[in-house]
């Protein structure tokens, strides 16, 4: 298997790790990519970015009322 952050994973595909990565484990290497995209196009004056560990994504919410989401125009 492969070890990532002290956790042993079996050979094959790992759909999601605790730190929000999708990985492929082989005898030669472990390759991973993130499951989330960073918001870049949003109202930065009135909104803030908060990482949601449950969904493995960034939420963009109003600074004045974090229970309300902001419109995101683009992510990278």
What does the pLDDT read at residue 32? 96
Q: Is the pLDDT of residue 46 over 90?
A: yes
Architecture of the domain whose range is 39-75: Single Sheet (2.20)
- In this prediction, residues 40-61 reach a mean pLDDT of 94
Contacts of 2 (CB under 8 A, 6+ apart): 8, 9, 11, 23, 25, 26, 30
User: Strands (DSSP E) along 7-71, which ranges?
Assistant: 7-9, 12-14, 21-25, 30-34, 39-41, 47-52, 57-62
Q: Under DSSP, is residue 43 helix (H, G, I), strand (E, B) or coil?
A: coil
Q: Are 31 and 23 in contact (CB under 8 A)?
A: yes
What does the pLDDT read at residue 76? 86
Domain coordinates of the chain in residue numbers? 2-34, 39-75
Q: Is the pLDDT of residue 10 over 90?
A: yes
Query: pTM of the entire structure?
Result: 0.70
pLDDT tens per residue across span 25-35: 999 999 999 99
């Amino acid at each position: 298997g492969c070890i990532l952050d002290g956790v042993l994973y079996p050979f094959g595909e790992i759909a999601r790790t605790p730190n929000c990565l999708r990985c492929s484990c082989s005898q030669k290497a472990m390759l991973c990519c993130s499951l989330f995209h960073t918001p870049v196009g949003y109202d930065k004056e009135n909104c803030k970015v908060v990482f949601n560990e449950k969904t493995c994504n960034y939420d963009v919410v109003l600074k004045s009322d974090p229970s309300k989401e902001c419109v995101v125009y683009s992510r990278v």
